[in-house]
Amino acid sequence: MVTRAEVPAAMARFFFLLLLTLFSTAAALKRSDFPPSFLFGAGTSSYQIEGAYLEDNKGESNWDVFTHIQGKIMDGSNGDVALDHYHRYKEDIEMMHSLGLDSYRFSLSWSRILPKGRFGTVNPAGVDFYNSLINGLLQKGIEPFVTLNHFDIPKELEERYGSWLSPEMQEDYTYFAELCFKMFGDRVKHWTTFNEPNLMVKLEYFSGKYPPNHCSSPFGKCTSGNSSTEPYIAAHNIILAHAKTVDIYRKNYKAKQGGSVGMTIYMRWYEPLRNISADHLAVSRAQSFEAPWFLDPLFFGDYPRQMRQILGANLPKFTKGEKQLLKNQIDFIGINHYKTLYVKDCIYSPCDRDTYNGDALVVELAERNGIPIGKPTPVANNYVVPSSMEKLVMNLKQRYNNTPMYITENGYAQISNSSTATEELINDNERISYIRDYLTYLGYAIRKGADVRGYFAWSLIDNFEWLSGYTVKYGLCHVDMKSLKRTPKLSAKWYSKFINGYKQIDKTSEEYPKQIWAEISAWTSCRKLNPTNWNNEVSMEAWFYELTDGGTDDKVKGLRSLVILVIWANWRERNARVFQDKEKRMRQLVDDIKDEGRLWVRAAHAPEIDLLSYERYWRSVTLYSSLYL
């Protein structure tokens, strides 16, 4: 029989153990959970940040031309100045160094190095710029991770022969790539041939949203193009250009330079809309038109069987010699992951095929029965589904024999306009939660044997986000677009602290409770509540017992409420889909705390709950759950 006197002690023990569990969950993500050689970094690309678009004999690129056409970019902006990285790269390197980044992923501007492709001469100023950038990174202990092509190409090649629709582009690309190996390969050990070529050809030749704006009905309204054939012709030339580039590197440079060459693919994760065989098959088709479209040829020598069955003669064929060249022509896989969506079958069910994966005979949806697939973000159809990171990586592990992988892009977007306050952009708690949770699930995949060797947050700084211009912000660091001043956001500070890590203490040691308290006492709201004397877990438990023994002090009530708040916020973060409506979440939270008789979240400084509006209180919950869990 339990006496009344024993109840407070039992409650104290319960709260202590529960908080201990929450702390263990919160502290589960540590730098030490990843291999010592694992690279943590951030990324950008040339057109999105460099500016200086015609300076020092740089040639025009396709994006220089495109962004100067009225109405193409949401806010009417362009990359003429961008973030002026061309002149401020030293400042940006210092910023990376202060964050403690292991590596920096960036791309080379083809038109800055070869303004007219192989039909012109090398631009010494462009070469000097990238030499200075690479050397500056290495001097600060930051490893360069270089992308040879990130969407932008010399205008000359588009006008001369239609760029990727012509086999000639393979020759231009390999000429450029080998030139880069010669000039920079003694210091660059990680090369990526292309960034998101699967997304690029769809946007350029399927929906026609990117230059050269080729498409056909029903997938877009363009003045020229054929959505049924051109995306696959362009992809065919890109795949062969990659294979030839890897062949050149392995034969002529690898032995001396010791680097590796991979390709970065844009990868969505798909779930079946309905638990029926048709939608499960639709998921398989959608996936085939994603990463395997480009990766299967580079591992197995040909396109996925499902693509061949659906597209027939519209899918180009590799010759016998090309198939031999293609096999195993990739050293690592780069993964750019942002989206998780439902997929519905369009073979046996009536639907309008979408402009991204329509040829797979599917339609992509973000909701099932009115419930989003994950927690919404400011960007349409971008939902937070961290578990997809683990699923995606494990899928690639199985399909491609656990070839080394890097998460080359992953990030959270903010939306900005002329009225958005700088403080709102800098206090990016949602980005902290996003990166933390996706890294957590990436860690699960690694512990299951996936050979993942690095993670690059997108992006280092707010930059030009293609069709969205400067209205979408992915950066860890804020940029004032008038002064171009860089300011680290809260996410940058969190990421830096995470990368630097801290000493792991054995949970069985007497030091473990002290580590727990060190973390708890670091919380702003608990700084005035330190116990005066304790040495071990027993004394900490005794202190919690005192707090739950009917005390009337506001600080006691405040901490008890804070414990409940932390418990609820932790649960809410991991069950975001349960409460999609903000007001419902608020009322549920307030009711939960009132049910426990805790009307305060005022540990040392916070105002009383019933004096807070739902909106202010929601921000408070987000702050606690993002920063303190």
Residue type, 26: A
Distance CA(130)–CA(143), nearest Å, equals: 14
Half-sphere exposure of 547 (CA within 13 A, CB side): 27
Q: Which two tokens stand for residue 484?
A: 């171009």
Distance CA(258)–CA(249), nearest Å, equals: 10
* Whether residue 409 lies in the annotated active site: yes
Distance CA(380)–CA(561), nearest Å, equals: 36
Residue identified by tokens 């104290």 is: 12
Show the DSSP H helices in 379-450 as ranges.
387-399, 422-426, 429-447
**C-beta neighbour count of 179 within 10 angstroms:** 15
Distance CA(273)–CA(143), nearest Å, equals: 42
Residue identified by tokens 């004397």 is: 533
Among the options 156, 290, 364, 409, which is catalytic? 409
Query: In terms of C-beta distances under 8 Å and separation of at least 24 residues, what long-range contacts does 288-293 make, across chains too?
Result: 288/360, 289/357, 289/359, 289/360, 290/198, 290/265, 290/266, 290/357, 291/198, 291/265, 291/267, 291/333, 291/396, 292/399, 293/198, 293/235
Helix, strand, coil percentages (3-state) for the chain, rounded to 5, are 50, 15, 40
**Please, what sign has the CA dihedral across residues 408, 412, 418, 421?**
negative
**C-beta neighbour count of 374 within 10 angstroms:** 19
Residue identified by tokens 């270089």 is: 146
Q: Which two tokens stand for residue 284?
A: 């398989």
> CA angle, 456 as apex, 451 and 462 as ends, to 5°?
165
CB 29 within 8 A of CB 504: no
**What is each CA distance from 598 to 542, 548, 556, 589, in whole angstroms?**
21, 11, 10, 11
Question: Any idea which residues carry the catalytic annotation?
Answer: 409
